[in-house]
Amino acid sequence: PPFQLKVGSDSPETDLQRVTMLREALGSESRIRLDANGAWTLARASSMLRALAPLDIELIEQPVAAHAIDDLARLRRAGQIRVAADESLADPAGARALIAMGAADLLVLKPGALGGLRPAASLARAATEAGLDFFVTSLLDSALGVVAATHLAAALPSAGLAHGLGT
């Protein structure tokens, strides 16, 4: 399974140092996912993704603010690291627009944040139709929410990405 590290709350130098240390500790075979929770500006995200690219990062979740769909699209087009939309999916209309414009490489589907299993499954279908990947994860759910997310993950076609259900 991939290892996920939160970034964006420290200086860029500290984030880069932490990710470098993690890569060295895990070795080249392990997958690393980063999550900035929308903490970076477009300029900071662009700079950070260029600096992080040599570290073989699997993906970066929500590098810019949730409403900054155009910025997310610019980062995706730059192609440094695969870009995942997370908080940007909370608004159904915004999520559909994000998918339509291909503003992310993949979607992070959190049923608890998306209004339940049906809306999450609907976004998974829309992503698949648009050629985007996705993975299912949980929020701060109870055991019931994690089980529901697990059932959703099992019911959806797999893109080969590990789901984030061991949070």
Closest CA to 63 of 82, 33, 39: 39
SS3 for 113? Answer: helix
Let me know if 87 is a catalytic residue: no
Q: Is-catalytic flag, 61? A: yes
Catalytic position from the list 15, 71, 105, 110: 110
Q: Which of 15, 35, 87, 105 is catalytic?
A: 35
Answer yes or no: 91 catalytic.
no
- SS3 label, residue 73: helix
Of residues 146, 151, 148, the one with CA closest to residue 166? 146
Annotated catalytic residue within 15, 86, 133, 141? 86
Is residue 71 annotated as part of the catalytic site, yes or no? no
Active site residue 6: yes
Residues that are catalytic: 6, 35, 61, 86, 110
